[in-house]
Amino acid sequence: MQDETKICTQWFLDNGMKANADKFHAILSHKSDIEPISLSLDGHIILCEKNVNLLGMNLDDMLSFDLHVKGLCKKAGKQINVLKRIANKLDISGKLAVYKSFVLCQFNYCPIVWNFCGKKNIRCMEKLQERALRMVYNDQISTYEELLTRSNLKSLHVRNMKAIALQVFKCINSLGPKYLHDMFIPKCTKYNFRDGSILHQNRFYTVKYGFLSFKYHGAKIWNSLPPDLKTNTEFSDFKRLLNNWEGPFCNCNHCFIG
């Protein structure tokens, strides 16, 4: 890590820039009984941390995203409390607009990164959305599914699955970052199936870093889409059709809830 960091900082210098080592962070996944590891760079000591904040994301050394989801739920909960105080001054459409603008937006930032945060965390976020919708409609009787249908919204789980599908589309069509273009490989077969847009699904050897990964579930979600949806080459058309698609997404016990 130290050698690679020196290569990066030298690249900055070669290109007329200077990296600020005071703002560097290091994070390393290891057991708690191991002595803390530090890096030395140009006289600066960089200690490996348990979690770091990066561009609005709270990354922990075990990639559990517990702290990040806790922060999201705290922010969303405060906004829901504000909505509760002004609810009697707004009609249903107004309350729903406030919810979408100030609460739902909390869960729309980088969901692909923290999506595999565990079933417990996802349930907490879904409970917050349910609580907000009950407040919007002043309804304590209807089920969560009925409230979603009434508000024309999807569960956070489904929204995240569609966000992953959109990113896979960008990867396949070389619209995203170059380092993601080769992540998904079309599956080769000697048979001529009706669905010719099937991606190869890699075998995984660990749950945390194999099964619970964008690479594995991105291919799985893409393969679950209907063939006529995957043949679109225009991103705007694909996004519109995906948003209107009412098909099911996988609900594995490891990271998703129904």
How does pLDDT run across 97-142, given as a tens digit for each residue?
A: 999 999 998 898 988 888 888 889 999 999 999 999 999 999 999 9
At 30, the pLDDT band (50, 70, 90 cuts) reads low
Q: At what angle do helices 156-172 and 214-224 cross, to 10 degrees?
A: 90
The pLDDT value given to residue 248: 65
Give yes or no: residues 201 and 146 share one domain.
no
Q: How many domains, the chain?
A: 3
Residue at which a domain ends, from 153, 178, 206: 153
Give yes or no: residues 170 and 135 share one domain.
no
Q: Has residue 200 been placed in a domain? A: yes
Give yes or no: residues 200 and 239 share one domain.
yes
Instruction: Say if residue 36's pLDDT is above 80.
Output: no
Give yes or no: residues 171 and 220 share one domain.
yes
Convert the pLDDT of each residue in 39-93 to its tens digit: 887 778 888 888 898 888 899 888 889 999 999 999 999 999 999 999 999 999 9
Return the structure tokens found at 38: 């530090």
The pLDDT value given to residue 193: 52
Residue at which a domain ends, from 153, 175, 191: 153
* pTM of the model as a whole: 0.80
CB atoms within 10 A of CB 125: 23
Convert the pLDDT of each residue in 195-240 to its tens digit: 557 888 777 777 766 788 888 888 889 888 888 888 888 898 899 9
Convert the pLDDT of each residue in 162-199 to its tens digit: 999 999 999 988 887 888 888 888 776 655 555 557 88
- Chain centroid to Cα 172, Å, comes to 19
Q: Has residue 13 been placed in a domain? A: yes
Give yes or no: residues 237 and 167 share one domain.
yes
Q: Has residue 255 been placed in a domain? A: no
Give yes or no: residues 206 and 224 share one domain.
yes
Residues 6+ apart with CB under 8 A from 100: none
**What is the Cα–Cα distance from 210 to 213, expressed in whole angstroms?**
6
Give yes or no: residues 149 and 167 share one domain.
no
The pLDDT value given to residue 252: 42
Among 257, 57, 61, CA closest to 161 = 257
Give yes or no: residues 78 and 147 share one domain.
yes
Domain assignment of residue 177, given as a range: 163-244
